[in-house]
Chain A
Amino acid sequence: MSLFKTLKNGAAAAASSYKLILLIWVTTLVLTLAVGFPLRSFLNMMFGSSLAIERLNDGFDLGIAGDLGKSLGGLMASVSAGTMLISLAGFFIMTFFAGGLFRRFSLAWGGLKVSDFLRASAGNFIPFLKIALLMILIIGAYTFVLIGIPVIAGLIASGSPRQNGKFFYLFYVIWALGLPVWLFVADASRRWIAATGSRKVFRALGAGFRAIRERFWHSYLTVLAVIIFNVIFIAALMWFAATSTPEKGIMVFLFFIATQALFIIRLFMKAWRYASVCEAVQQVKS
């Protein structure tokens, strides 16, 4: 089966799971709003009835930081704590929902009820969590070897990690090109857990490595293609969000709708990767 067909089938599978994706979106929205609303109230309280809040209209004016005085410290601490909380909770939530999504994509063509989705998410949570932690360790070590060691060596040798810029860019490129391998292994391992119902994490990882070895280029290019699309989309989304400064109330609301719609597409694109990997593994087996 061609790479294009794998990607197309993966996209179709992801699109057909729109209810599940919307459920994930709602969960992330509730989580982030739970932290974001108090922060907004805090910020409003700091400015009170002052017109100085207008200095935030055209981007955040750092010059106002000193005027906020000690309350700025409180705001920064709250933002840091909120970010940490969201990161931790978000990690668990996304790991949880990945269990349901992989179950959905490892099934033969057909839907998965939300209740079955949640059941599968709960059932797969522990092994998925272990796989996620192991893969993070592996990718961390991979990053250290390819980027950390050369940077440290360069620093020791020349006093500056930038002394040989082009040389280091080569390592960054190699690192980026290698990343799809690890993502494929992580996804294929989780697909194995979802498909077999086994809880054996290391066997799952073995299955993941076997899967990529059996049809390497097809598997690798599948993930690489999805990642390229994802990177371009994320960059465009972040640029749009960073540079947009709607000033009227209705425009702010529309901005919210637009950014959330784009985030839903981002979730779809992540599900697309899961589905495409499942599709690619399925082809190996068949």
Chain B
Amino acid sequence: MKRILLVFMCLLPFTAGGQVIVDKPLSARLTGYDIDVTLDPGKHTVSGQMTAWWVNHSSMPVGEAMMHMYLNAFSSNKSTFASGGRWSASGDDGWGWVKIKSMRDGSGNDLMGSCGYVAPDDGNENDKTVLRVVLPEPVAPGDTLVLKIDFISKLPSPIQRTGYDDDFHFVAQWFPKFGVYETAGMRQRETDGWNCHQFHPNSEFYSNHSVYNVSVTLPSEFVTGSGGKLIEEIDLGGGLKKEVWRAEDIVDFAWTAWPGYKVVTRKWNNVDITFLTSKMGLSKAENHLDAVVYALEYLAARVGPYPWPHLTFVDPPLSGSGAGGMEYTTLFTTMGGGAVPTFMKMPEMVTIHEFGHAYFMGILASNEFEEPWLDEGVNSYWEQRIVDHYYGGGYGLVRLPFLKMSDTDQGRLSYISSSNRTIASNDLPSWMYPHGTYSMMSYNKAATWLHTLQGIIGDETMDNVFREYYRRWAFRHPSGRDFISVVNDVVKKEHGDRFGENMNWFFDQVLYGKGECDYRVSGITSFRIRSYSGVVDGDSVTYARSDRKSDTLYISRVSVERLGEVMLPVEILVRFDNGEEVLEKWDGKTSYKDYEYTGARKVVWAKLDPYDRIDMDVNRINNSWTLEPNRTATRRMLNKFVLLMQMMISIFTL
């Protein structure tokens, strides 16, 4: 109790004014930032002061602090982020960096002499994206570390996530920010310690939910947007203004400023949605706003409420497209897609995906560095569900009379068509995926096996898994094991032992294993029983010679095989020539299985996984076998091909 009181006393100064945005704190609010800066659009710098605080919630004194200094990823092409030719400055003015001019603790001690860069992930001496601050006095349990910092940040160009192009500024990862101090047991960690990773090409998010009070002074003609709620806009005179934002319980604070922004707004329930776009992007504004509303509606119903009353998203101009497709919880960026035909829903897909991160990483603040599948994979899974639900009648990405594609299939396609799909397990840290497989593995393989899990346990149970995941872990830091634990509990509660003691067997194969899933129907045979004919009388069959043709008996066999290492329960639908159908259930563990049927009926076709529940199956062509192939589709395609070619040569010749 004394400790709680102490924490409360420490937090009091920083929460002055009480709750501004949400009714009560959503998170533990272990960190917070009061920032007052000025944007110099000519030099593309942001400079000023900040007060950052961190509460030691552990039971041990902590003698150091670790901070993200992510803008330094752009300070040389030898940083972990930029090395390998992944990024280089557009010129001398293109480099980006963040410099601390002074740092003092709450007692006024100068900490500049006790700061140093470390590279915990790869030991890269040229990487200056993680700062270690040795404190003069350890922070006692329950005490608050306060840092007062003067800093200047220079934005990079070309833009990659963050940066500037001419007068367009997207300001992200721009200030010194605490890492996450994890206590033993948290995310299965054995001992207390900081979790503060370097800035990587494929991951950048793992932070505490914080309170931000941010003031920015900038020229009056700039139109701005941020992850916070605009509290006040002050005309400073001389062509300058100050904008004051506050954000509560978000994991990062980013903002943007550009004179060319057009602003479109909409309200959904209690959420004020603001869309910043260019003049060119205005034509797609309603499409993007619809997409956000769909995502809000779908996730609120199936996962949990969106708790903030504000949401801003940005369609950067073409010159700033490097900032597109990023997520900062209550601020995200999409792609305009002005040139994309309206029947293709890629821009909407990006909007839904980036918004989804408000849940998967924003609210459920998993560690993107160490478990990217829990961030990108889970989010891609939901994005695919939303896109295919709202657009194209199940074919969300493209729906034309002659061409169609679902978003779910797009993700699955990326996974199954990769020659490296078995090169690694799906639980690696983001920077450890070999041969450029990060995206395929983290986004698409994970989404594909989540769809497979949904196929196995059912839609309703899957939704309940995520509702429970949200209930237990919202505004905390769940790990993959924590997610699995939720799955096990919910499945057990709803299905008992139907799938075994728990679902670990599933995750051991798809998440922690490298194998692939491939089942096939290897053949169908039907033999007439020649020695005897059967006399069918009701449900009984008498083996006796008969002259009646209808009494002829057949033995039909359907052979199925497991070609891959992954073993999943599958169904086989068998159709007979008299129209009857039988649904077989196979645990899929043996390498093959035969199903035999004796009777006056012959098997016509057999379809394994008839309802396409096993998305992980890397080849669905071999999932069925028919004795009566229907070639209508290819005949029709030939007709169309012939006509298309004839038209082509008649049009393109004089």
- Which residues does A use to contact B, with CB under 8 Å? 28-29, 31-33, 35-37, 39-40, 43-44, 46-54, 56-69, 83, 86-87, 90-91, 93-95, 98, 131-132, 135-136, 159-160, 162-163, 183, 186-187, 234, 237-238, 241-243, 245-249, 252, 255-256, 259-260, 263, 266-267, 270
In chain B, positions 622-638 with a C-beta closer than 8 Å to chain A are 622-627, 629-638
**B484 is an interface residue with CB less than 8 A from chain A:** no
Once A51-B607, A63-B413 are accepted as A-B contacts, the answer to whether A86 and B624 lie under 8 Å apart by CB is no
A69 CA / B421 CA spacing, docked (Å): 13
Contact present for B629 and A183 (CB under 8 Å) = no
Contact present for B621 and A50 (CB under 8 Å) = yes
Chain B residues positioned under 8 Å from A159 (CB to CB): 318-319
Contact present for A57 and B640 (CB under 8 Å) = no
Contact present for A259 and B643 (CB under 8 Å) = yes
**B402 is an interface residue with CB less than 8 A from chain A:** yes
Contact present for B409 and A54 (CB under 8 Å) = no
User: Which of B105-113, B526-534, B539-547, B645-653 is the contact stretch?
Assistant: B645-653
Which of A40, A50, A95 is B624 in contact with, Cβ under 8 Å? Answer: A50
Once A40-B634, A58-B404, A162-B280 are accepted as A-B contacts, the answer to whether A47 and B621 lie under 8 Å apart by CB is yes
A4 CA / B417 CA spacing, docked (Å): 58
Once A32-B645, A95-B653, A243-B402 are accepted as A-B contacts, the answer to whether A52 and B624 lie under 8 Å apart by CB is yes
Which of A31, A49, A91, A247 is B625 in contact with, Cβ under 8 Å? Answer: A49
Chain B residues positioned under 8 Å from A256 (CB to CB): 639
Chain B residues positioned under 8 Å from A62 (CB to CB): 398, 403-405, 409-410, 413
A31 CA / B405 CA spacing, docked (Å): 32
A266 CA / B648 CA spacing, docked (Å): 12
Chain B residues positioned under 8 Å from A52 (CB to CB): 620-621, 623-624
Nearest B residue (CB) for A187: B654
What 0/1 readout, one digit per residue, does chain B (279-291) give for beta carbons within 8 Å of chain A? 0100000000000
In the assembled complex, the CB of B180 is this many whole angstroms from the nearest CB of chain A, namely 38
Once A43-B637, A241-B640, A245-B401 are accepted as A-B contacts, the answer to whether A87 and B632 lie under 8 Å apart by CB is no
Nearest A residue (CB) for B575: A51
Q: Which 7 A-B pairs have the closest CB atoms?
A: A63-B409, A90-B649, A51-B624, A56-B633, A62-B405, A94-B653, A66-B417
Once A37-B638, A132-B654 are accepted as A-B contacts, the answer to whether A160 and B280 lie under 8 Å apart by CB is yes
In the assembled complex, the CB of A127 is this many whole angstroms from the nearest CB of chain B, namely 13
Contact present for B633 and A32 (CB under 8 Å) = no
- Which residues does B use to contact A, with CB under 8 Å? 280, 318-319, 338-339, 395, 398, 400-406, 408-410, 412-413, 416-417, 605, 607, 618-627, 629-654
In the assembled complex, the CB of A201 is this many whole angstroms from the nearest CB of chain B, namely 14
Chain B residues positioned under 8 Å from A68 (CB to CB): 621
Once A40-B637, A56-B637, A263-B643 are accepted as A-B contacts, the answer to whether A61 and B404 lie under 8 Å apart by CB is yes
Majority SS at the chain A contact face: helix
Contact present for B413 and A65 (CB under 8 Å) = yes
A157 CA / B645 CA spacing, docked (Å): 38
Chain A residues positioned under 8 Å from B605 (CB to CB): 51
Which of B403, B627, B647 is A237 in contact with, Cβ under 8 Å? Answer: B647
In the assembled complex, the CB of B573 is this many whole angstroms from the nearest CB of chain A, namely 10
Contact present for A32 and B641 (CB under 8 Å) = yes
A55 CA / B374 CA spacing, docked (Å): 32
Chain B residues positioned under 8 Å from A86 (CB to CB): 645, 648-649
Contact present for B339 and A248 (CB under 8 Å) = no
Contact present for A186 and B654 (CB under 8 Å) = yes
Once A91-B649, A247-B632 are accepted as A-B contacts, the answer to whether A46 and B621 lie under 8 Å apart by CB is yes
Nearest A residue (CB) for B339: A162
In the assembled complex, the CB of B226 is this many whole angstroms from the nearest CB of chain A, namely 26
Contact present for A36 and B645 (CB under 8 Å) = yes
Chain B residues positioned under 8 Å from A162 (CB to CB): 280, 338-339
In the assembled complex, the CB of B280 is this many whole angstroms from the nearest CB of chain A, namely 7
Contact present for B413 and A66 (CB under 8 Å) = yes
Contact present for B632 and A248 (CB under 8 Å) = yes
A135 CA / B409 CA spacing, docked (Å): 46
Can you identify 21 A-B contacts, CB atoms within 8 angstroms?
A28-B646, A47-B621, A47-B629, A48-B621, A52-B623, A53-B633, A59-B404, A60-B637, A63-B408, A63-B409, A67-B620, A90-B653, A98-B654, A132-B653, A136-B654, A159-B319, A186-B654, A241-B643, A245-B636, A252-B635, A252-B636
Chain A residues positioned under 8 Å from B644 (CB to CB): 241
Which of A36, A46, A65, A234 is B641 in contact with, Cβ under 8 Å? Answer: A36
Chain B residues positioned under 8 Å from A57 (CB to CB): 632-633
Which of A29, A48, A136 is B646 in contact with, Cβ under 8 Å? Answer: A29
Q: Which of B409, B625, B636, B651 has the most CB of A within 10 A?
A: B636
